[in-house]
Amino acid sequence: MAAKKKLMQGNEACAEGALYAGCKFYAGYPITPSTEVAEIMSVELPKRGGKFIQMEDEIASMAATIGGSLAGLKSLTATSGPGFSLKQEALGYACLTEVPCVVINVMRGGPSTGYPTGPSQSDIMQAKWGTHGDHPAIALTPAYVQEILDETVRAFNLSEKYRTPVVVLYDEIVGHMREPITIPEPGDLEVIDRAKPDCDPEDYKPYDDKHLIAPLAPFGEGYRFHVTGLNHKEDGFPTNDSEMIDINNRRIMQKIDDNIDDICKNDESNLEDAEIGIFAVGSTSRSAKFSVNAARKKSIKAGLLRPLTIWPFPDKAVGELAEKCKVIIVPELNLGQMVNEVKRVAAGRCEVVGIHRVDGEPIKPAQITELIEKYS
Amino acid sequence: MAVAKQKLSVPFDYDKYLRKDKLPHIWCPGCGHGIVLKSLLRAIDNKELSKNDLCMVSGIGCSSRTPGYVDFNTLHTIHGRAFSFATGLKLAKPSLKMIIATGDGDAMAIGGNHFIHTCRRNIDMLIIVYSNAIYGMTGGQFSPTTPIGSIATTSRYGNVEPPFDICEMAKAAGATFVARGTAYHTQELERTFTEALGHKGTAVVEVIDSCPIYFGRMNKQRGASEMMENIEKNGTVSVKQVDKLPAEKTEGKLVRGILHRVEKPEYCEQYDKLIVAKATK
Ligand SMILES: Cc1ncc(C[n+]2csc(CCOP(=O)(O)OP(=O)(O)O)c2C)c(N)n1
Ligand code: SF4
Ligand SMILES: [Mg+2]
């Protein structure tokens, strides 16, 4: 069959990706600039045997999303800055209880109500550290409308595979941009479903530490088990045993640490011989790509590292970049979040400089080009 | 409305529903929470509900530790949000028989907004509010149901805030079954739970409960039995008697029994009937 081409908005592509991945449950609360995702899911889910509910706030939305997933449905919620803040406690609950779900955060200017219709990349750190306690974090950063679709599918896959919430971060520019994209046919993209137990219900342990990731039974199908946000043992019941607490807290981190190569994904352009590296995500990486191309025309050896997974941080790729470049430029729509991570990894091997903007305007190629030329 | 007479099944095998290996429970000696659970288990037995379908969800608090002890699908969540987790579960899997175990703090303070919206939706679930007028788990701070003047660790001079009437709130918000029971009137509570479990829609049962360790000690009700006696003699009056008694005998007392029961469309059924039917036409 001929591939289906369509002009689509970023948020529309997100909904399309979620449906492709088999999402059957959405709970959310309206907030600019993410609302289109909810609007589309409210129309599409009931057609496909799925459920949509508009909750009373984002706390309830996150909680209902986790509930939907525990009932066995792939579950989604979408929000933006203030709503992402409200979701944090329940997001941590999903990390500890290991309930898969996908959270879309279409980043807008902050802090507080900030600039609802302006782009931003200021929730990069919140996606990692927003909820209290040490916890695993996976966050994806698509930059093109096609990528929003593809990465939303990947978000569900990672979430189901690693039994953990996955955050998709993209800025308002990409969320509201329209681009022609190819809608994948069934089978074109991999779709992963969570492992379910096949053991006797009597023997089921929802946090069996013989597995790094234990199978998850849906509620109401004979496996009567307990889920709690307290530190728990293999059987899911709370424990005060320090050894058990330690094992479980480390295991949920190890799920990510042991699978970095599977989770990390980067797009690299002109990096082979690069002397000036640029590290950027989202709309900013689009400007960066433009600047790199312009520099190459002037025979300046600039290259772009564009992570599609920002958490776990792409230490390996940044390390390689630091080895070969004299400088890494980090343009970002915040006052310095990714740049410090890049500095940590570069560890003095090269210079690291940021370009930061928080006036609600995008970082334009000219700003990046200026720095590239300065270092060339 | 009269509470229907049910045959009480004595003696009763609680072990059938309990996770015996998780006992002893964390509740203090004399705490009313365990009594409430006993009445609930008997009501579940009266309704012959399947353990595989039963799903108990709670927030945080002493009362919210109940799910850990019952052999159902059980979810102990975060403070105040049990209703929202349960809403997701129920909508995603309507075959689940939902019971929420929550406290006066969990349901009325931090979870107040979710409580009223759950009632408004009339989604099928039984909400049991273990109402002991105190934050038990955190050591005895006043709650939204602590009476004016009562002592708590954060109201040493006496509580100045007027308390909520949980039942009035539930009714106003749209719950279609509202009742009040106590941890003293256990057989009546069993009957109330039995009726509530048979109701389609959001059913709220407030149970006047006791926390002898914090509320009792700080408010000159020294023992668990003294607290129970207080509930029996001074605290409440049955809905069956309230109209027959002189005003001075009912003044300041909470009314016990089924206070409100109406038939209204249930959320999950409406979802199928209105939304799915149109979407798939
Ligand atoms: C977000 C959050 N805030 C505060 C707490 C602390 N906390 C735990 S239980 C509780 C009060 C519980 O009171 P109630 O619901 O009445 O239950 P009880 O212990 O009296 O049965 C509080 C404030 C918490 N766990 N989470
Ligand atoms: S502190 Fe109060 S509510 Fe909590 S278990 Fe003890 S007596 Fe019960
Ligand atoms: Mg209480």
- Read off the tokens for A143: 């930059």
Contact A281, A143 (CB under 8 A): yes
How far is it, in rounded angstroms, from Cα A2 to Cα A80? Answer: 36
B84, B100, B102, B110: best to mutate for the A interface, most A CBs within 10 A? B84
Q: Which atom of ligand 2 is nearest to the CA of B26?
A: 5
Q: In what order do the strands lie in the sheet with A226-228?
A: A226-228, B73-76, B54-58, B97-103, B125-131, B202-208, B177-182, B254-261, B236-238
For A:84-113, CB contacts with B below 8 A are 89-90, 93
Tell whether omega for the bond before A33 is within 30 degrees of 0, i.e. cis: yes
- The rounded distance, in Å, linking the Cα atoms of A58 and A375 is 45
C-beta separation of A301 from A244 below 8 A? no
Q: How far is B92 from chain A (nearest CA, A)?
A: 5
Ligand 1 proximity of B238 Cβ (cutoff 6 Å): no
Question: Are residue A26 and residue A165 in the same domain, yes or no?
Answer: yes
CA geometry: angle A360, A365, A367, nearest 5 deg: 75
In terms of residue numbers, what domain contains A336?
267-375
Best residue among B37, B137, B219 to mutate for probing ligand 2, ranked by most atoms within 8 Å of CB: B137
Query: Among the three residues A154, A183, A212, which one is the final residue of a domain in this structure?
Result: A183
How far, in Å, CA of B265 to CA of B120, rounded? Answer: 11
User: Is A53 in the same domain as A162?
Assistant: yes
Which of A146, A166, A183 finishes a domain?
A: A183
What is the mean predicted confidence (pLDDT) over A197-215? Answer: 95
Q: What is the CATH number of the domain that holds A117?
A: 3.40.50.970
Residues of A in contact with B91 (CB under 8 A): 25, 51, 53, 64, 68
Q: Is residue A202 part of a domain?
A: no
> Residue of the nearest CA to atom 26 in ligand 1?
B79
Residues 6+ apart with CB under 8 A from B250: B237, B242
Residue-wise pLDDT for A65-78, tens only, equals 999 999 999 999 99
Examine the domain organization and report whether A138 and A284 are in the same domain.
no
Distance CA B130, CA B209 (A): 6
pLDDT, one tens digit per residue, over A260-279 is 999 999 999 999 999 999 99
Predicted structure pTM score: 0.97
Tell me if A278 is assigned to some domain. Answer: yes
Please indicate, yes or no, if residue A215 is contained in any of the structural domains.
Answer: no
Please state, in angstroms and as integers, the Cα–Cα distance from residue B69 to each residue in B17, B25, B135, following that order: 9, 7, 21
Q: How many CA atoms lie within 13 A of B241 on its CB side?
A: 13
Same domain? For A56 and A151 the reply is yes
Centre of ligand 1 to C-alpha A31, Å, is: 29
Domain boundary among A151, A183, A215: A183
Quick one: three-class SS letters along B122-191? CCCEEEEEEECCCECCCCCECCCCCCCCCCECCECCCCCCCCCCHHHHHHHHCCCEEEEEECCCHHHHHH
In a domain, A307, yes or no: yes
Mean per-residue pLDDT of chain A: 97
Cβ neighbourhood burial of A28 (10 Å; 0-12, 13-18, 19+): buried
B104 lines ligand 1 (CB under 6 A): yes
Peptide bond into B11 cis (omega under 30): yes
Domain assignment present for residue A223? The answer is: no
Q: Answer whether B206 contacts ligand 1 (Cβ < 6 A).
A: no
* CA B136 to ligand 3 centroid distance, Å: 5
- The pLDDT, as a whole number, for residue B1 is 42
B→A contacts (Cβ < 8 Å), by residue, are 19, 22, 51-53, 55, 57, 67-68, 71-78, 81, 83-93, 95-96, 113-114, 117, 271, 275-276, 278-280
* DSSP letter assigned to residue B272: I
Q: Structural domain tally of chain A? A: 2
Cα gap A165→A100, rounded to integer Å: 5
Query: Within this chain, do residues A166 and A297 fall inside the same structural domain, yes or no?
Result: no
Report the residue of A51, A93, A202 to disrupt the B interface, i.e. the one with the largest count of B CBs within 10 Å.
A51
Check A220 against B67: CB less than 8 A apart: no
**For the stretch B61-98, what's the b/e string if a residue is b when 16 or more beta carbons lie within 10 angstroms of its beta carbon?**
bbbbbbbbbbbbbbbbbbbbbbbbbbbbbbbbbbebbb
Same domain, A160 and A275: no
CATH code of A304's domain: 3.40.50.920
Cβ distance of A224 and B71 shorter than 8 Å: yes
CA proximity to A106, closest of A119, A125, A94: A119
- Decide if A68 and B86 are in contact by the 8 Å CB cutoff: no
Q: Is there a contact between A68 and B279 if contact means CB atoms under 8 Å apart?
A: no
B91 → chain A, closest CA residue: A51
Name the residue of chain B whose CA is nearest to A59's CA.
B81
Q: Whose CA is nearest to atom 6 of ligand 1?
A: B138
Q: Which residue of A has its CA nearest to B275?
A: A46
Interface of A with B in 204-233 (CB under 8 A): 218-222, 224-230
The protein residue whose alpha carbon is closest to atom 22 in ligand 1 is B138
Q: What is the pLDDT along chain B (281 residues), one digit of tens a residue?
A: 444 455 555 689 999 999 999 999 999 999 999 999 999 999 999 999 999 999 999 999 999 999 999 999 999 999 999 999 999 999 999 999 999 999 999 999 999 999 999 999 999 999 999 999 999 999 999 999 999 999 999 999 999 999 999 999 999 999 999 999 999 999 999 999 999 999 999 999 999 999 999 999 999 998 999 999 989 887 899 999 999 999 998 988 999 999 999 999 999 999 999 999 999 98
CATH architecture of B29-279: 3-Layer(aba) Sandwich (3.40)
pLDDT at A59 over 50: yes
Confirm or reject: Cβ of B74 under 6 Å from ligand 2: no
- Best of B64, B65, B77 to disrupt the A interface (most A CBs within 10 Å) is B77
Q: How far is A329 from A61, CA to CA, in rounded Å?
A: 38
Select the residue of A51, A55, A90 nearest B78 (Cβ to Cβ).
Answer: A90
Taking the CA of residue A31 and the nearest CA in chain B, the distance in Å comes to 19
**B89–A71 C-beta distance less than 8 A:** yes
Whether A93 and B67 lie within 8 Å, measured CB to CB: no
> For residue B234, what pLDDT is reported?
79
Residue of A nearest to B87 (CA): A64
Identify the closest residue of chain B to A224 by CA–CA distance.
Answer: B73
How far separated are the first and last CA of chain B, in Å rounded? 42
Q: Do A72 and B52 touch (CB under 8 A)?
A: no
Assign 3-class secondary structure to B3-27. Answer: CCCCCCCCCCCHHHCECHHHCCCCC
State which residue of chain A sits closest to B281, comparing Cα positions: A47
- A61–B78 C-beta distance less than 8 A: no
In chain B, domain spans:
29-279
* Residue A158 belongs to a domain: yes
Lowest mean pLDDT among A102-106, A315-319, B71-75, B231-235: B231-235
The answer to whether residue A75 neighbours chain B at the CB level (below 8 Å) is yes
